[in-house]
Structure 1
Amino acid sequence: MFKLLIAEDVKIVRETLIRSINWNGLGVDLLGAAENGQEALAWLDREEPDLLLTDIGMPGMNGLELIEAVKARKPDVRCIILSGLNEFEHARQAIKLQVLDYVQKPINPAEIEEVVSRAVEGLRKEREERRGLAAAEQAAKELLPHLSEVLSPAQWSGSLKKKKLVEQAIRYVKDEYARRDLTLSDVAASVGLSDKYLNVLFKEVTGLTINHWIIRLRMEEAGRLLKDPAIKIYEICDRIGYADQDHFRESFKKQFGLTPTEYRNKFL
């Protein structure tokens, strides 16, 4: 549910907005209806709305002044103007304030429902995108404990869409990295991209090619398993997808600066 606050000085309009619209059906939790701009600002000290539906022509503090004050405190609040003032200057100022929509009076509940529905859908998409971005970054951190030491913030500056594709590739590799026959083509097919494009995309987002990323993941897992003396080195080699112990030894030493045996001896 997204929270919405109304600011409207005319009582009959205020009550109509409250009663004639199925806010819950729109996915909206109506916080309340303030009688003026000052009262609306006081709401922000108690609870932060996602949406503000405000009249322009209110005494004391008009709707545009209210929006400006709200944006200064809570920049993420989306604002919708409700007004009978059909003047270009107000519309131009509203655009400068990044107002989401502009609804004319007399009020039409169906029109307001349509406008709010679009606003809610936009907010929902933004929320999903933020969650997707957070999940992508968290997945990479969980899979590579030392990733933050390797990558700079600039390397994580790709678009959200790119990060989502990389997140999907990371999940696939996490599930399949122990397969000896795992290839770049397998990973690319899992996200519906060509080998070349996925590799370029992956490196742009993480700073590593997919093959290097798979090797690093395998070596991190090998390092974890080597701490358990009950697990033989040849068993570890097999578990992480290596058929050749010499190849495994070379890769491990390149990653940690120690052979698997030397690394294990540190924990005995």
Structure 2
Amino acid sequence: MFKLLIAEDVKTVRETLARSIPWEKLGISLLGTAENGEEALAWLDRGREQPDVLLTDIGMPKMNGLALIEAFKAHKPDIRCVILSGLNEFEHARKAIKLQVQEYILKPIDPGEIAEVFANVVRELREEREARSGASVSGHPPGERPPRLPDAPQAGEWSGDLKKRKLVDQAIRYMKAHYMRKDLALPDVAAAVGLSDKYLNVLVKEVTGATINHAIIRFRMEEAARLLQDPSNRIYEICERIGYADLDHFREVFKRQYGVTPTEYRNGHA
């Protein structure tokens, strides 16, 4: 089994992680839990078994999760790290990517999502171990696929759709908060969520049926339609408020969306 250490400062979350996830079925042995970064780091100095995987919160007292990951990687470069956090700022996600964090899971915790993440981590660790040894850990010769461990959960058994939905919801919230920016585009949204442009675009289209760019346009046009119903809002002001620099372009996009010009739309809702 692969060994796991958990660092989480909130007691209820820490206990839930320890008790509610079927670690052994996932092929993982839980070494222990720590309530802050310093306590987790001290694990390296006790001569105890060393973890293969670290699951850590970001916002912890004494030493935050990102500093803890850096310290662990300095001691054991091949350790796999998974972040669990309610902190959904871009800077944290960007630094997590730089540290080669395996996953970035948002609170509130979902046991199914966590189990799916760790099922993937274990699968990758097994494949790497087999590649290094030239044979599978179960003694099967190279090239021969070993049987699945009894009761080991498959990724499809867990709520993978929930994770996708959370990421898409993050992207949608970001777009709704920033669609008035004239330069808002796919790379900005992808960076805010911590994913590649291509993957986020595919994910959003899979869940919503629309690409990121189409979603941004839809949010802008919906807001324009709402503002047009108030005669005190001038059309050129609406154009600027929703992130368009060119009035003719705004009219063209609005007509494609609603089949009428902004003026015709306003007259129809007078």
Using the size of structure 2 for normalisation, the TM-score is: 0.49
Instruction: Determine which structure has more spread, i.e. the larger CA radius of gyration.
Output: 1
Q: Which has the higher helix share?
A: 1
Using the size of structure 1 for normalisation, the TM-score is: 0.49
